[in-house]
Chains A and B, each alone.
Chain A
């Protein structure tokens, strides 16, 4: 067992933080979300140059072979800086699925473009009724002469408004499969949606969209299992993003209460407020522990993966809400203004709590897993494989 970061990992963290500090301050971010597209193409291509877009992929696919820990460190920095570019949805979620399910040609084409910064794929899987039952999919694919015809609705596709290509799930002969659907396909309408955290998604409607036979992703694979695993990787990444935001809120609150003078002394000099900030720090520490467990569970067998990932999302959902609410309270009215990042962090945490499963969904999923007494009482240490 070793839970210390390696020197390379610390270097990665430092470089990510430096890049975002120099190129992605709060003012810049506000300009991006106010722009028509809601994305900064220059930043995206700089992310490509820095290797961010290649980070999780295997070297044979043109990637850098980074693991969950590297992703986690990057996501902490993404959280701190409130990056709205679709790193999570394009790289981790859609890119991850293409790497797992795609043929050599599909990987070369989609991952190639993604890593180069010229393509931003998005996963369109969940539907209005899906909730947390990932197999509850109403969209359908039917065989046609030279491929398939897809119909259905995919609301709130994360990163959808930035996507040039969608991975759309639909049932084919009763089984959920994924299809590669270019954004300019006939019969596909994508409506841009603004999200609560300033980022964008799209409501997708597919009306008899024709795709070629080569659009089917992973014909023989257990697609649902891979989609679930991809969401778990994304959820672990969200847990780390939340940790980055919680740390940011903590630091901002400490800095603010040291400066803000009331009744003749800085707010930070009042014991009642000191203890509230100490309680925030306790929650930040706990969230860090949870996120680390999620990070180190994404490649574990399914029950252990669920325990780590959904446990972290449930725990972090709860403590992050408390930290964010306290940060607002301790900032007083200032925490309410859009000029300060406090509210933006608050809103992003709220969005995270409602992305890829709510806090309650994850608690329920975790609760099911720990009904197995062996899972509940088992050590977090694992036997060598």
Chain B
């Protein structure tokens, strides 16, 4: 048992570092620093995605046959850590991490050869169409209806919390195709072209001041049957498969560590009056506690990775633990960072995206974004299966 990289992994890490040094420019890094949201502003994200695509590194988790890297889990972990350390804009979201694995697993050849390359080159950006205004965590209660009419479905209803739907070209959606049997059995998985007639997108500005989420309305929207994934009624199983990717498929250790390092830099800057937070014992105690949380979570991730590499399964309790703790750690880092602001916490910059504003000093810019990041961080324990849902999963394993 050990934490050692192989010589080859060290070489790989150095190669990734060199690439990031050369290609991740200051503009991209600054935009990410000033982004309070989970995903980068699409203009920024797509620019970074194009650079990664040129290198063939845009989809680390994909098998090589579909244009992925074919890396081992350890290599993906190392790549992720390095990207986070370097401060990359986060844009490998729903397109690469969620819909792509579904298309690979459940899609037919035509769907694979059409959609996958368009994801890699950024031609398509996907939005998620799961949640509905009335469904919340009770996903299976969804009501958006698709009625088969010849070789197309007619879709009516509404999806909510669709991240970046206003920039997306397509949406993967769960729709109701039957009312008989269990509510899970009448659900079908379809791909919707968001430029189709009948699609209306209503922006939802979030408490961090950013327009990230949307409500999407479907009014007799036509979706060709050829854009159905799997069979009719198979949607629930596909959704569960996808959620595995959303919850467990991503490494977070690198991101949490990078956020903490950023907080440390912020706390090391002298405040007006010359005082540094890093010299405040109360601050340091809280900071150190969070750092031990990050270490523990990182170890759980590495243990899970080891299990998968050996052909096993991490299990539902560790997976839900990681999801819960990851959200709490992000929230505590954001909260502690905002606590540094003092009375400046009262100032509010309305302009979005923040990176369009004239450049300031790094500390000024950190202060400008800190409150918004704190507000945004509250979403961490809600999306992707709220912490209460994760506790249910754990309780089910333990108690029933």
B388 CB → nearest A CB, Å: 7
A379–B264 CB distance below 8 A: no
Stretch binding the partner chain, chosen from A155-163, A277-285, A338-346 = A277-285
- A5–B3 alpha-carbon span in the complex (Å): 13
**Docked CA distance A6–B394 (Å):** 27
Contacts of B5 in A (CB 8 A): 1, 381-384
A289 touches B296 (CB 8 A): yes
Interface residues of B in 89-147 (CB under 8 A from A): none
Query: CA separation between A308 and B296, bound complex, in Å?
Result: 10
Please indicate the chain B residues that have their CB under 8 angstroms from the CB of A288 in the complex. Answer: 300
A367 to B295 CA separation, bound complex (whole angstroms):
13
Pick from B78, B265, B297, B391: contact of A381, CB under 8 Å: B78
**Residue of B with least CB distance to A275:** B391
**Is B289 a contact of A376 with CB atoms below 8 Å?**
no
Q: How far is the CA of A373 from the CA of B390 in the complex (A)?
A: 33
The residue of chain A having its C-beta at the shortest distance from the C-beta of B1 within the complex is: A69
Instruction: Pick from B257, B289, B391, B399: contact of A318, CB below 8 A.
Output: B289
Q: A258: which B residues are within 8 A, CB to CB?
A: 399
A377 within 8 A of B: yes
Whether B321 lies near A384 (C-beta < 8 A) is: no
Q: Does B307 contact A (CB under 8 A)?
A: yes
Binds A, one of B188-196, B225-233, B280-288, B372-380: B280-288
- Rounded to whole Å, the gap between the CB of B383 and the closest CB of chain A is 18
8 Å CB contacts to B: which residues of A271-318? 271, 274-275, 277-279, 281-282, 285-290, 292-293, 296, 307-308, 311-312, 314-315, 318
> Is there an interface contact between A281 and B264, defined as CB atoms closer than 8 Å?
no
Given contacts A258-B399, A315-B295, A366-B291, contact A5 B265 (CB under 8 A): no
| B391 surroundings in chain A (CB, below 8 A) | 274-275, 278-279
- Tell me which residues across on chain A come within 8 A of B297, comparing CB atoms: 286, 289
A88-141 residues with Cβ-Cβ distance < 8 A to B are none
The answer on a CB contact under 8 Å between B292 and A366 is yes
A366 to B291, CA, bound (A): 9
A333 at the interface (CB under 8 A from B): no
Given the interface contacts A281-B317, A290-B295, does A367 sit within 8 Å of B285 by beta carbon? yes
One digit per residue, 1 when the CB lies within 8 angstroms of any chain A CB and 0 when it does not, for chain B 4-23 equals 11110110000000000000
Majority DSSP secondary structure for residues of A touching B: helix
- From A271, A278, A314, name the one whose CB has the most chain B CB atoms within 10 angstroms: A278
A285-B321 contact given A268-B399, A370-B288, A373-B261, CB 8 Å threshold: yes
**Complex contact A286–B325 (CB within 8 A):** yes
Chain B residues with CB under 8 Å of A366's CB are 288, 291-292
For the complex, what is the distance from the CA of A135 to the CA of B29, rounded to whole Å?
46
* A311/B399 contact (C-beta < 8 A), A3-B303, A376-B264 known: no
Interface of chain B residues 343 through 400 with chain A (CB within 8 A): 388, 390-392, 394-395, 398-399
Looking at the complex, which one of B2, B395, B399 makes contact with A1 (CB distance below 8 Å)? B2
Binding site secondary structure of chain B = helix
Partner of B291, one of A281, A286, A376, A383: A376
CB pair A286–B321 under 8 Å, yes or no, is yes
Given A1-B2, A278-B395, A296-B3, do A377 and B85 touch, yes or no (CB 8 Å)?
Answer: yes
Give min CB distance, B147 to chain A, whole Å.
37
Q: A181 near B: Cβ within 8 Å?
A: no
Q: Which of A2, A268, A279, A315 contacts B292 (CB 8 A)?
A: A315
B81 at interface (Cβ–Cβ under 8 A)? Answer: yes
Size of the B side of the interface (Cβ < 8 Å), in residues, is 58
User: What number of residue pairs across chains A and B have CB atoms under 8 A from each other?
Assistant: 170
Complex Cα spacing A270 to B81, Å: 41
The interface bits of chain B over 310-331 (1 if a CB of A lies within 8 angstroms of the residue's CB, else 0) are 1010000110110011000000
Q: Nearest chain-B residue to A311 (Cβ)?
A: B292
Number of A residues whose C-beta is below 8 Å from B? 52
Distance in angstroms from A357 CB to nearest chain B CB is 14
A373: shortest Cβ distance to chain B, in Å? 6
Max chain B Cβ within 10 angstroms of own Cβ: one of A254, A307, A371: A371
With beta carbons under 8 angstroms apart, the residue of A289, A307, A363, A384 that contacts B7 is: A384
Closest residue to B298 on the A side, CB-wise? A380
Decide: B395 and A380 in contact? CB cutoff 8 A.
no
Neighbouring B residues of A385 by C-beta, 8 Å: 4
Give chain A residues whose Cβ lies under 8 Å from the Cβ of B246.
Answer: none
Which residues of A sit under 8 angstroms from B242, Cβ to Cβ? none
B336 within 8 A of A: no
Are B302's CB and A3's CB within 8 A? yes
B58 within 8 A of A: no
Is B299 close to A, CB under 8 A? yes
Residue A35 is within 8 A (CB to CB) of chain B in the complex: no
Taking the nearest CB of chain A, how far is it from the CB of B380, in angstroms? 15
* A274-B395, A315-B295 known; A3-B306 Cβ under 8 A: yes
B278 at interface by CB-CB < 8 Å: yes
Chain A residues lying within 8 Å of B296, measured Cβ to Cβ, are 286-287, 289-290, 293, 315
18 A-B pairs with CB atoms under 8 Å apart are A1-B3, A2-B309, A4-B307, A4-B312, A9-B1, A69-B1, A254-B398, A271-B395, A274-B392, A274-B395, A275-B391, A278-B391, A282-B394, A289-B299, A292-B299, A363-B288, A377-B257, A380-B3
* Given A3-B302, A290-B299, A377-B85, 4 new contacts (CB under 8 A): A279-B391, A314-B292, A373-B264, A381-B81
| A-B CB proximity, top 8 nearest | A289-B299, A367-B288, A274-B395, A315-B292, A278-B394, A3-B306, A377-B261, A278-B391
